Structure 1
Amino acid sequence: MAIDEAGRPLAASGPMLSQDIFERAAALKKAGRPFVLATVIWSQRPTSAKPGAKGIVTADGALFGWVGGSCAQPAVIQEALKALADGRSRILRLDPEGQLASDRRDVVVVPMTCHSGGALEVFLEPFLPALQLLVFGESPVAQALIRLGRAMGYRVVAVRPGTVGPVEEADLTLATLDIDELVRGRQTVAVVATMGQYDEEAVERALQAGAGFVALVASRRRFDAVRSTLEASGLPPDLLSRVKAPAGLDIGAVAPEEIAVSILAEIIAHKPALQPLAGGIPELREPAEPSTAVDPVCGMTVEIAGARHTAEYQGRRYYFCCPACRRHFLANPAEYVHPGAGA
């Protein structure tokens, strides 16, 4: 075991864990799944996570890696989900006093609930998959949207029922209208440009799948007919109200490429309102009875069940990773106990 100059045990480092974290991040990015990379950038003893410790929080609230014990993890997960929802990075500070200097107003502060004390700052960086653009139809406008959407870095899906073979320049070609799995949990916009061939079916499927923005390339008169048909089929009015028709900003576009540019400009204008996650943000629940404790000497995490090295001080039990830490603690408990700890 490594020790410091005073003979105290040091917390073990985890280079392989960091490698696993980056491998997991690369896999999530390749799969188009949103996640937050959480990195500890500052800590104050006796926290178990040290600067450089990393974790990944996925959209379902799962945490992979290590950014602190049972007191820190729920707050990190909750704030990470908020970062996924708004797409903004932030610093989370867990502090026993729940306070922060006035010159750091950009930092989110959450009280540290552990009796052992300590403080922690975690940088939360969201990684969202590229916007997904579903293009329905084979019209010249649809072709232009595929080309320009790909150039803008979007994940472009050509939706063409009955098509045989991939569409050039599209990331994916879908030969059916079964788009639900593609849309679920992903920031998605849909443009229907079928020139009347299956406008009604495409609009209905895009709305029911939950696309964040649905546009129809058609005249107002044509959209009135589409809306009447869908209303008669029982599609709720609140869903139909989300359809933008005619598609695109009114910039006098005439050529297919110009119309595509006007539609993409409108998509850009709507991006801040698009929600990358479905189902909202889970509420932060009070943590259950902790299964681990922080060694107040070296900061390592100790499993409470079956812990071999413990000590009582001022009516409270403390847990240690080894006999050396316990001896250092008993020699001068006040050095390691936070002022707020104790019964």
Structure 2
Amino acid sequence: MYDEFFSKAQALREAGVPFATATVVRAERPTSGKPGDKAIVTADGTMYGWIGGSCAQPTVIREALAALRSDESRFVRLSPDPASQPPREGLLDVPMTCFSGGTLEIYIEPQQPQPRLIVVGGLPVARALAELARAMSYRTIVVDPAHHGDAPPYADELLTELPALAGRVTPVTFILIATHGQYDELALEQALATPAPYIGLVASRKRAAQVREYLADQGFAPEQLARFKSPAGLDIGARRGDEIALSIMAEIVQCRRGLADLAWQEAVEAPPAATPAEAIDPVCGMSVEIAGARYTYDHGGETFYFCCPACRKSFVRAPDEYLVHK
């Protein structure tokens, strides 16, 4: 199970997909979760791994998504009666009212994808930008067909073929082209074919206009051409190569943070679904994801959802007893 956990985490990192890890650090019987149990929760609410029974999973998923939104870790304690538990600083108490009882303490940590910078060309500004990006924990990939030998010290990876860059692009990959006019057009043709959120070109305004005209003649639509920025970088009055690199890095950071804010804003502002995503288990009060609910029961023209077979069995035996408190 642990091999599957780490393999899944590595695969998500390589794909640039955000996720959260949840680890049981303490458990009090009776509970099916044990210290060391681990799970991964992706941004769409999918869980991989084991973190305890069906009563714990909806809460863990909800808290994991909250951790991803805030980009902050959280320590959660699930217990039948949180009020009876001694308060601890930094610990979030959440009720878990299933019949199994028990207490779980779970550490949830968001894992944001490592941003990538692809630098095409060997200009001094490209090197300065790559060095700055590495210092900021970006994975740096240099694409330079003219380079021979090992990867330069400022690059995590060296590519010598332009088409190869497409296979390195994730949702948080940023591309800068600085070839001094040698193959700007060819590099942009490759970059514009990817979903990279930022594509910058180091060139004069006159040169950038020539590049746009060439690409338009090649059939690129205006909205495609609008995806690349030239001159690249924020206007900070930069003159030297390292200053230009700083202005470009600042623009990349601005783009990256804007992407994160927009993604969560769209999620919050999305129109509500025709049916609620979750229902309340009438027996234990737990939230149950409707789409993936395994235990349901139709009564009085209404469908009820349960977190486990024990809750369903109790409801079927005496539904009126629980409907009074609905």
The alignment's TM-score, normalised by the length of structure 1, stands at 0.61
The alpha-carbon distance between structure 1 residues 265 and 311, as it changes in their structure 2 partners (threshold 3 A), is closer
Q: Distance in 2 between matches of 1:153 and 1:95?
A: 39
**2:51 matches 1:67:** yes
Q: Which residue in the other structure is 1:297 paired with?
A: none
Q: Which residue in the other structure is 2:167 paired with?
A: 181
Q: Distance in 2 between matches of 1:81 and 1:234?
A: 42
**2:219 matches 1:234:** yes
**2:290 matches 1:286:** yes
Q: Percent identity?
A: 43
RMSD over equivalenced CA pairs, Å: 4.9
CA contact (8 A) 1:37 1:127 kept: yes
CA contact (8 A) 1:162 1:176 kept: no
Q: Which residue in the other structure is 1:191 paired with?
A: 176
1:203 to 185, 188, 191: 188
Q: Mean Cα displacement is larger for which, 56-65 or 263-272?
A: 56-65
Q: Which structure has more RCO (C-alpha within 8 Å, separation ≥ 6)?
A: 1
After superposition, residues 1-343 of structure 1 pair within 5 angstroms as: 23=6, 27=10, 31=14, 34-39=18-23, 48-49=32-33, 53-58=37-42, 62-70=46-54, 72-73=56-57, 76-77=60-61, 80=64, 83-84=67-68, 87-89=71-73, 123-161=107-145, 163-169=147-153, 170-178=155-163, 179-184=165-170, 186-275=171-260, 286-290=290-294, 315-316=316-317
* Displacement of 1:256: 1.7
Q: Mean Cα displacement is larger for which, 68-77 or 205-214?
A: 68-77
- Unpaired runs of 5+ residues, structure 2, are 81-89, 268-272, 278-288, 296-306
One-letter code aligned to 2:159? L
* Displacement of 1:143: 2.0
Partner-residue secondary structure (3-state), 1:209: coil
The Cα offsets for residues 225-282 of structure 1, whole Å up to 9 and x where unpaired, read as 2222223333333333232211122223222222212211222233212359x9x98x
Length, aligned pairs only: 281
* Displacement of 1:176: 1.8
The alpha-carbon distance between structure 1 residues 26 and 200, as it changes in their structure 2 partners (threshold 3 A), is same
CA contact (8 A) 2:5 2:48 kept: no
One-letter code aligned to 1:188? T
One-letter code aligned to 2:122? E
Report which of the two has the higher share of helix.
2
Partner-residue secondary structure (3-state), 2:192: helix
- Unpaired runs of 5+ residues, structure 1, are 1-16, 97-105, 292-301, 318-337
CA contact (8 A) 2:27 2:105 kept: yes
